[in-house]
Every structure is written in structure tokens, then in C-alpha cells.
Amino acid sequence: MSTFSDLGVPPRFAKKLDERGISSPFEIQAATLPDGLAGLDVCGKAPTGSGKTIAFGLVLAVRLRKSKPGHPGGLVLVPTRELAIQVAKEISLLCDGTDLRVAMVYGGAGYGPQVRAVRGASIVVATPGRLEDLIERGDLSLGSVTIAVLDEADRMSDMGFLPAVRRILRDLPKQRQVLLFSATLDGDISQVVKEFQHDPRRHETKSEEAEPDIDHKFWLVNRNDRVEIVAQMANHFERIILFCRTKHGCDRLAKQLGAAGVRSSIIHGNKSQAQREKSLEEFRRGRSNVLVATDVAARGIHIDDVPCVVHFDPPADHKDYIHRSGRTGRAGSKGVVISLVDPSQRRSVSRLARDAGVEPEFVGPELDVSTNESVKVRPGSLGGVLLTVAAG
Ligand code: ADP
Ligand code: MG
């Protein structure tokens, strides 16, 4: 078993990690850190929860020096605001004890604080749209960037950000290191690799231990019975995320749950940044144990110990199925993913599940002890079958 020091991480950074209980590198970190720290371009493919943030964050923290105001040396592009916040937080921790400051740049929030933060920052973590705004306004220049990171590149592609990403990367200095991380490296992503990376070292992790440990269940239930079922599940699981197709659907479900006595937090695109953060924080801290979300929340955010994810509405496609499901079973903990499937949706859900690499077996709504015993349930709740609504 290697240590961070063995991989070339200077002792003072390794020590800081150790103090946080992070002492053995995860697989993707062990694979990419030696190349990243040597200044080479790296192309990393790994599933969610595998520790990609530290894999690239350490390269920034170790290799960068304090930069001129408004001319960051490090740039991290991410698809969503939530991820920007999370990644910036992690990199700040990694930079603790250095004179590197980290700024966040994302849409849906005022310019003032971001502009001020960028001036003093050596590393900028940004969503592509707002970053281009700031560059256009002259608030920041990428002319001194020596390390650029693309995190969740596949998601940026799905969200239509690749044209902006390309424009940004094209304007970087020619002498720079590019680190690209993604759950998939096919299609458009392989083009970006070709265009912007120089002889990248490619690392894929697919060993058993890096794969999330997730039990996928498909329950046939009538649409009208779903609220009652998830209300019961909310009492059963310590924490649960419910995915809905639309913002309106989220609001409606939260209201219906409220009427059934279940408190929930909501996160979707119509909420302001402040509201979204408040919801996440409530959920993280356990003030509510139910998070009702649209797909915006499916990517990037990491919440420890979410034992159960429910597809309240089926996802739009197999990619969304994977992204939503990836909110559980993270960092080595076990998770259950439950799809609530109306009989009329059975065929389309089958197809989507297979495309996601899961062979669906449609059963009635029940949780049995054998599959469920290592998943965290709320104290006092039943360990066994507890759902009383009959199958559709
Ligand atoms: P990804 O970006 O690959 O989805 P993250 O970077 O968000 O994954 O990491 C998932 C979780 O694992 C985080 O809570 C992180 O702190 C934790 N983690 C990362 N690396 C290690 C490690 N080497 N040892 C213990 N925990 C780790
Ligand atoms: Mg990540």
C-alpha cells in the first residue's frame, strides 16, 4: 500500500492530509499523481466518489506559486455551481499553509464578491459561462495559467458547455499542463483530449474497490402510490435523495411529503444560489433527511453517507440514471438505488437501465433485510419489510 509521500507529494502536504484522516491514496490518485506532479498532461477516467478532486487538487497546490493579482496560475473548470463550491473548498484545504488563495466563479450570483476574490487568487474554480463574462469585462486574464483542469468533462459536454470550454482553452498559454477528469472519455471528450492535451498519460480505474457498491432495485408501483411509498422510506433511511423530472414536480412532491409529516429540502434550478446552498446544508447537517432534487443536483455534489437514492420519476436517459445513482455508494459505503416504475414505463425503464449496465428485475415495493442490512437505517426503524403499499 503506497502513501502520498511515495507518490511524490511533499511531506507537508501529506501531513495535512493525514491530519484529516486521508492517508492511503485512492486508486485514481495513486495512478495520476506521479504524472501530474511531474507536470505531464493527464487524462483520468474514474467513477464518481473515487477521489478525483484530491487527484488534481494536489497537483495545483504543490506545483503552483502565488500569482499576480488578476492573473491566476491555476484554473479549474466545472459544470455546476455546487461543484465549484465543493471543489474550491477541497482545494483551499489542500492549499492550507501555502500562500495560494482560491476563488470561485459561477453564475446566478453577484459579480462584486467574485471579482474581488479573483483579484487575490492564484487558483480560480469556475463554471465556463461566468468565467467568460469576467474575462470579457476585463476582471481577469488567463494569460498566466500554467495548470488547467477540466473536472467532470463529460457532464460539461452533456450540458452544452464544450464550445465555451474550447474557447477558454484555446486562449491559454501554449506552455501549460492540462488535467482532464471524466467518468467517460468517449465521443466529444476524446476530441477535446486530442485538441488540447499534449501526449497525455491516460489512466483508467475500474477495479472492484473503486466501483461504487450499489444495489439497484426496480419497483413496479402505480404513479399515485409513489408519495406514500417514499414517505415510508423517508422514515426508514437515515438519508434519502428523491429525483424528480421537473422543478414543478419537486415542489409538488415536497408539499405532499410535508402533508404526510415528512420534512424535506429542495434543490433545483429555479432556486437561488443561496436557497440551494441552504437546502444542501440542511440536508448535510441532518435537519431534514430527505432531499428532493432535479438532475442539476445529480452531478458533482458530494454528501457523505446517503444510503438511498430514489428515481421518483425515471431519468431522461441512461447517463442521468448513472449520475443520479452515483449520489449513493460513494467513497466505499454501500447504497441502494430504487426506481419507482409505473407499469406503463416498464419498457422504457428496462432499456435505459440496460444502457446503464444494470439488468433490471421488476418487483413489488419491498426492502428485505438480506440486501439491506449493511445500509444505514434510522435508529428504531424496522430492518425488514416495511412497505405496505401493494404492487401495481
Ligand atoms: P469524485 O470527484 O471522484 O466523485 P471526490 O473527489 O468528491 O470524488 O471524493 C469523494 C470523497 O472521498 C470525498 O469525501 C473525499 O474527501 C474522500 N476521499 C478522497 N480521497 C480519499 C482518500 N485517499 N482517503 C479517504 N478519503 C478520500
Ligand atoms: Mg468530482
Per-residue b/e over 221-256, b at no fewer than 16 CB within 10 Å?
beeebbbbbbbbbbbbbbbbbbbbbeeebbbebbeb
Mark which of 155, 177, 204 sits at the end of a domain.
204
Whole-number Å distance, alpha carbon 52 to ligand 1 midpoint, is 7
Contacts of 91 (CB under 8 A, 6+ apart): 53, 57, 60, 61, 76, 102, 123, 125
Per-residue b/e over 187-208, b at no fewer than 16 CB within 10 Å?
eebeebbeebbeebbbbebeee
Closest CA to 156 of 120, 180, 133: 180
pLDDT digits (tens, 9 = 90+) for 197-215: 999 999 998 654 445 678 8
* Alpha-carbon distance values, 342 to 70, 223, 253, 348 (Å): 54, 6, 17, 11
Q: What is the mean pLDDT of residues 256-267?
A: 93
Rounded CA separation 109/134 (Å): 13
Whole-number Å distance, alpha carbon 51 to ligand 1 midpoint, is 3
Q: What is the mean pLDDT of residues 202-229?
A: 82
* pTM given for the model: 0.67
For residue 73, tell me if it sits in a domain: yes
Count up the domains in the chain and report the number.
2
- Do 151 and 260 lie in a common domain? no
Q: What is the mean pLDDT of residues 133-138?
A: 96
pLDDT digits (tens, 9 = 90+) for 160-191: 899 999 999 999 999 999 999 998 888 889 99
Question: Mean pLDDT over all residues of the chain?
Answer: 87
Whose C-alpha lies nearest to ligand 1, atom 2?
A: 52
26 Cα nearest atom in ligand 1 = 23
Confidence of residue 274 (pLDDT cuts 50, 70, 90): confident
pLDDT at residue 222 is higher than 80:
yes
| Run of H or E including 352 | helix 346-355
Q: How far apart are the first and last CA of the chain?
A: 50
- Do 152 and 252 lie in a common domain? no
pLDDT digits (tens, 9 = 90+) for 332-367: 678 899 999 999 999 999 999 999 889 999 988 876
- Do 162 and 221 lie in a common domain? no
**Residues spanned by the domain of 230:** 214-390
pLDDT digits (tens, 9 = 90+) for 14-24: 999 999 999 99
Whole-number Å distance, alpha carbon 257 to ligand 2 midpoint, is 31
- Do 320 and 238 lie in a common domain? yes
Least trusted range by pLDDT, from 17-21, 173-177, 232-236, 326-330? 326-330
For residue 209, tell me if it sits in a domain: no
All residues with CB under 5 Å from ion ligand 2: 52
pLDDT digits (tens, 9 = 90+) for 43-74: 999 887 789 999 999 999 999 999 999 999 99
Q: Which pLDDT score, from 0 to 100, does residue 389 have?
A: 39
Ligand 1 pocket: which of 4, 16, 17, 26 to mutate (most atoms within 8 A of CB): 26
**Are the C-beta atoms of residues 285 and 65 closer than 8 Å to each other?**
no
Ligand 1 pocket: which of 2, 53, 59, 60 to mutate (most atoms within 8 A of CB): 53
Q: Which pLDDT score, from 0 to 100, does residue 384 have?
A: 37
- Do 229 and 136 lie in a common domain? no
Percent of the chain whose predicted confidence (pLDDT) is above 70? 89
Strands 147-150, 290-293: pairing is unpaired
What are 41's three cell numbers? 498532461
- Do 354 and 242 lie in a common domain? yes
Q: What is the mean pLDDT of residues 107-134?
A: 95
